[in-house]
Amino acid sequence: MFETLQANLLSPIPLAFALGVLTRLMKSEFSLPKDLYTSLSIYLLFALGLKGGVELSHSTFAAIAKPAGATLFLGVLTPLIAFGVLRWLGRFSSADSAGIAAHYGSVSAVTFIAAQQFVQRVGAPAEGFMPTLLTLLESPGIHIALGIGAVQRARTLGASGDGSGSSVWHVLHEVLTGRTMILLVGGLIVGFLMGEPGWKAVNPFFDSGFKGALMLFLLEMGIVAGSRLGDLTKVGPFLLGFGILLPIVHGAIGVTLGHWAGLSVGGATVLGTMAASASYIAAPPAVRLTLPEANPTFSLTASLAITFPFNILVGIPLYYRMAQAMA
Amino acid sequence: MTERQTMHTHPLKLVTVIAEPVLEGRLTSELRQLGATGWTVVEGRGEGSRGIHAAEIPGVNIRVETIVAADVAERIVQHLATHYFAEYEVIAYMSDVAVVRGDKYTTRSPEKR
């Protein structure tokens, strides 16, 4: 385990991330221009979708059906576990519990990419259809958690409810038409249709630059996470522990389900990482709109400053070891 | 100079709303429903009584400006007070402005949309 860990820490993604955190610790004003950050995320998501679509065109339905079922099951299970733990063990308000659960029920695309890169580097590449599974996990978790929150909210507001039902539909639309979903699902479809010949034509741009762009992106992620470190003292020890232990539990469940569904060691590792990761792009605005009384400091600090670094640095190698142990 | 003196202006209200960026779509569609015929949205940075990080979600604040008749301005501020002030970071204020082409800001009735 120690060697895997060490090899991971000295790979491009954790190093770029660490540099970003260090930048913030030195109180440097440096950060990537907002538009570059957005452009990089567009590039990464679209490249991920395209490549996944091309790979999908080689896959059979039978090979995907069970892993897809496992992924959807994870999408339902993880927000419920997160909500239960926060509400009854952590004694958070139902809005805060649902808000944080929405983040942990959804998935972080960058953590997913980091896991893919990791399993590739250790010589156990994941199945080509994994990006398809990623799109399946993006949205159900958010909606289940927000659904719980909205029901609880309607109950406390009583009959005088303010028609938040329409805003749930609004949020559903917003998540499904957000940047991540458009680029990933759109990329998958385009990649599937254009197949290998089309991929060859755009490969120099979308493949060769991918890892470099990823490093730049992780640098900015480090800066963003670093600027949240100060909030760690505000969220209390429970959420700190939650941000580390819940990913391990979700990761173990994900790896196990992946193994049962017939995924390779690499595939099970990536599925475990998906389950363990917490969203910080799609979930925050959705939660803010539907559950305004939830405190965003809790959910964002937990997902960005605790769970994201944990997964990148320690979690992914750990899930890999779990997957190896099962194989 | 003489031209300027003869130019006819109408007294209207400028309503300015400063809000979290996630609210933009919802706010602008509600402004239209409440009778505004147009608006301008700009992004900016700032700090308020709840502190700079209160919104937390990455992104800047928005400032929505709309020029409307006095009764519409009242409705807008009333609406914001009921639906936003408690839970979101939203502030709103109105000021008197004088505009030329006054009907440009008032011709659309709220029912017509």
Q: Looking at residue B49, which CATH number applies to its domain?
A: 3.30.70.120
List the single residue in B with minimal CA-CA distance to A282.
B57
- Average the pLDDT over A297-323 and give the result: 94
Alpha helices (H) along chain A: 2-9, 12-25, 34-56, 61-84, 94-105, 109-121, 130-138, 140-157, 164-176, 179-206, 210-226, 232-260, 265-276, 283-290, 296-300, 308-310, 316-326
DSSP-based three-state secondary structure for A234: helix
**What residues of chain A have any CB closer than 8 angstroms to a CB in chain B?**
162, 170, 224, 284-285, 288-289, 292-293, 296-297, 300
Residue B112's pLDDT band (boundaries 50, 70, 90)? very low
Q: Which of B26, B56, B83 sits opposite A296 (nearest CB)?
A: B56
In the numeric block, which tokens belong to residue A105? Answer: 């029920």
Q: Are A170 and A285 in contact (CB under 8 A)?
A: no
What was the pLDDT predicted at A126? 96
CA distance A35 to A90: 38
As for how many domains chain B has, the answer is 1
Specify the pTM: 0.86
**Contact partners, residue A310, CB within 8 Å, separation at least 6:** A243, A244, A247
Listed ranges A39-43, A251-255, A288-292; the one with the highest mean pLDDT = A251-255
DSSP string, A141-167: HHHHHHHHHHHHHHHHHGGG---HHHH
Average model confidence (pLDDT) for chain B? 83
- Taking only the tens place, the pLDDT of each residue in A106-165 is 999 999 999 999 999 999 999 999 999 999 998 888 888 888 888 887 777 654 445 444
Alpha helices (H) along A177-230: 179-206, 210-226
**Contact partners, residue A91, CB within 8 Å, separation at least 6:** none
- Taking only the tens place, the pLDDT of each residue in B45-83 is 777 665 544 445 556 789 999 999 999 999 999 999 999
Average model confidence (pLDDT) for chain A? 90
Question: Domains of chain A, with CATH numbers?
Answer: 2-22+30-326 (1.20.1530.20)
- A225 pLDDT more than 60: yes
Task: Report if residue B113 sits inside a domain.
Answer: no
- Taking only the tens place, the pLDDT of each residue in A175-224 is 778 788 899 999 999 999 999 999 999 999 999 999 999 999 999 999 98
What was the pLDDT predicted at A167? 63
Task: Report if residue B20 sits inside a domain.
Answer: yes
Q: Within an 8 Å CB–CB cutoff, is residue B52 touching chain A?
A: no
- Taking only the tens place, the pLDDT of each residue in A16-75 is 999 999 999 999 989 898 889 889 999 999 999 999 999 999 888 889 999 999 999 999
Q: Within an 8 Å CB–CB cutoff, is residue B55 touching chain A?
A: yes
- Residue-level length of chain B: 113
What was the pLDDT predicted at B5? 60
Task: Report if residue B112 sits inside a domain.
Answer: no
Least confident of A85-94, A248-257, B45-54: B45-54
Task: Report if residue B111 sits inside a domain.
Answer: no
> In a mutagenesis test of the A interface, which of B23, B26, B30, B53 is the best target, namely the one with the most A β-carbons within 10 Å?
B53
Q: Are A258 and A323 in contact (CB under 8 A)?
A: yes
Closest by Cα among A131, A108, A113 to A12: A113
Min Cα distance B55 → chain A (Å) is 7
What was the pLDDT predicted at B54? 45
Would the CA dihedral through A235, A240, A241, A242 be positive or negative?
positive
Domain assignment of residue B46, given as a range:
2-105
Taking phi over 0 as left and psi of -120 to 50 as alpha, with beta for the rest, A163 belongs to: left
Q: Are A12 and A215 in contact (CB under 8 A)?
A: yes
